[in-house]
Amino acid sequence: MPLLIKNGEIVTADSRWHGDIYVEDETIARLGQNLDAAPGAEVIDAAGKLVFPGFIDPHVHIYLPFMATFAKDTHATGSVAALIGGTTTFIEMCCPSRGEDALAGYLLWKSKADGNSACDYAFHMSVTRFDRQTQGQLRKIVADGTASFKVFLAYKNFFGIDDGELYEVLALARELGVIVTAHCENADLVAQLQQSLLAQGKTGPEWHEPSRPESVEAEGTNHFASFLEITGAAGYVVHLSCAGALDAALRARRRGVKIHVESVLPHFLLDKSYAERPGVEGMKHVMSPPLRDKRNQAVLWDALAAGSIDTVGTDHCPFDIEQKLLGKDAFTQIPNGIPGLEERVNLLYTYGVKAGRINLHRFVDAASTRAAKLFGLFPRKGAIAVGADADLVIYDPAYRGTVSAATQHTNNNYNGFEGVPIEGRPSVVTVRGRVQVKDGVFVGDKSRGCFLKRNPSFF
């Protein structure tokens, strides 16, 4: 059924105007003023609302075996949570472990999502081992439309690769025109510091941050940048958390290294004091890189406003309270991760746009358009333009609410942002022209989501 969205204030990464959007056959067919609807078309009045391109979360974990357990969401729960929060596409980390076969892992991840997602999705393929067989498999995976890799400098012996493998992955990525996303913490430093702290009887969650301090991330970022420089590959630092790491990335960028930066929502809003709370309250906020000293927040916001931080993702990774308690005797056993897929857009709007830290265009760019461009989805996604997919978020800036586990759709029994007020939320969310969400309620098709094939970008 055609859809006409009337009288909205349409805001993209680079334009803002009042008008109508006419949707036919899953895509935007016309833009203009006073458009007429065909008989039978669904008409939505967006007066007083903002209309954004569907938001893209470039970094989520849905299916994830990790640290002796599994993250809590399924594609069914995670995709509905995403849509209620205005995210119409996410890019999931496909993460087979070092001992597993890459192609078998890729097919397993795809099968988990297939037919079970309400929003569109793509994958970053993690390369957790590099050998001849894996190289051949990666070529097949890229040909299948998964045109980005992920590497871990951290999580030694599980996801992590060594420097020789890192060089080989980047050389292959350069050849194939594939961007490589990277978790940048020096694994050996982390392992040494963890052992040293545990040996001193320092076992609580408050020791997680000191086991992977800012310098460990700055070193990892610099390390990754050096390898990008030498191989000529394009890279993307995931969940950058602190000034030192940002400095390393920007120094590399200034000398011509193709390096892009993502930060995730918790690092803008929460600081390490959350993980220093006693017992399980602290464990809820254990993630890597860890929550940092508060002084980093202003640095991240400024870099986001300037566009030096390209994107804001979540690293959504829900483990519940019972799972977090696996680490009650040692912080090294706490499953790392915090949810946020559902809250990202509303929190970034409230504490970024409404608080005057970023403008509306940078907001759309950081939460949608820039990720679409970096990962080969633009202009199909991340744009309001004729021919683009009709993934649209009609946003109600007058809404007032509070984040709470009691009302969330993510499958978890806590929320890291519990009690935080929000100003604004999606009123209507569409996926390729179909209304999926109305005022916080999922009303659509639970298997609407498609796997998005992406072409290499050749940066």
Residues 258-297 as x/- pattern, contact with Zn ion by CB under 5 A = ----------------------------------------
* Tokens read off for 415: 């929320």
Segment contacting Zn ion by CB under 5 A, of 99-107, 108-116, 307-315, 451-459: 307-315
Run of H or E residues at 170: helix 163-176
Task: Supply the minimum distance, in Å, between the C-beta of residue 110 and Zn ion.
Answer: 18
Which helix (H) or strand (E) segment is 421 a member of? strand 421-431
Please state the closest distance from residue 71 (CB atom) to Zn ion, in A: 10
Judged by CB under 5 A, the stretch of 126-134, 205-213, 308-316, 413-421 that binds Zn ion is: 308-316
Query: Within 406-425, which residues bind Zn ion (CB under 5 A)?
Result: none
Cross-strand bridge partners of residue 426: 395
Residue whose Cβ sits closest to Zn ion: 315
Residue with smaller CB distance to Zn ion, 315 or 389: 315
Nearer to Zn ion, 166 or 437 (CB): 166
Local structure of 178: helix, strand or coil: coil
Give which of 364, 366, 354 is closest to 300, Cα–Cα: 366
Bridge partner residues of 441 (DSSP): 438
Helices (H), 27-131: 75-84, 102-113
Query: Which residue, 159 or 207, has its beta carbon nearer to Zn ion?
Result: 159
Between 315 and 343, whose beta carbon lies closer to Zn ion? Answer: 315
Q: Which is nearer to Zn ion, 7 or 69 (CB)?
A: 69
- 100 or 423: whose CB is closer to Zn ion? 100
In whole angstroms, how close is the CB of 151 to Zn ion at the nearest point? Answer: 12
Sole window of 35-43, 184-192, 281-289, 312-320 interacting with Zn ion (rule: CB under 5 A): 312-320
Q: Is residue 73 a contact residue for Zn ion (CB under 5 A)?
A: no
User: Site size for Zn ion, by CB under 5 A?
Assistant: 1
Report CA torsion sign: 381, 387, 393, 397.
Answer: positive
Distance CA 224, CA 180 (A): 10
Whole-number Cα distances in Å, 92 to 5, 251, 388, 459: 30, 29, 22, 22
Could you tell me where the DSSP H helices lie in 358-452?
360-364, 370-374
Which residue matches tokens 């859809």?
Answer: 3
- Looking at beta carbons only, is 13 or 91 nearer to Zn ion? 91
Instruction: Draw the binding track, 327-356, toward Zn ion (x: CB under 5 A; -: no contact).
Output: ------------------------------
CB atoms within 10 A of CB 9: 18
Question: Three-state SS for 401?
Answer: strand
Stretch that binds Zn ion, among 105-113, 209-217, 311-319, 353-361 (CB under 5 A): 311-319
If the CB atoms of residues 94 and 243 are measured against Zn ion, the closer one turns out to be: 94
- Applying CB under 5 A, among 92, 315, 343, 365 the residue interacting with Zn ion is 315
Whole-angstrom Cα distance, residue 403 to residue 400? 10
Query: Cβ distance 42 to 83 under 8 Å?
Result: no
Can you give the binding site for Zn ion, defined by CB under 5 A?
315
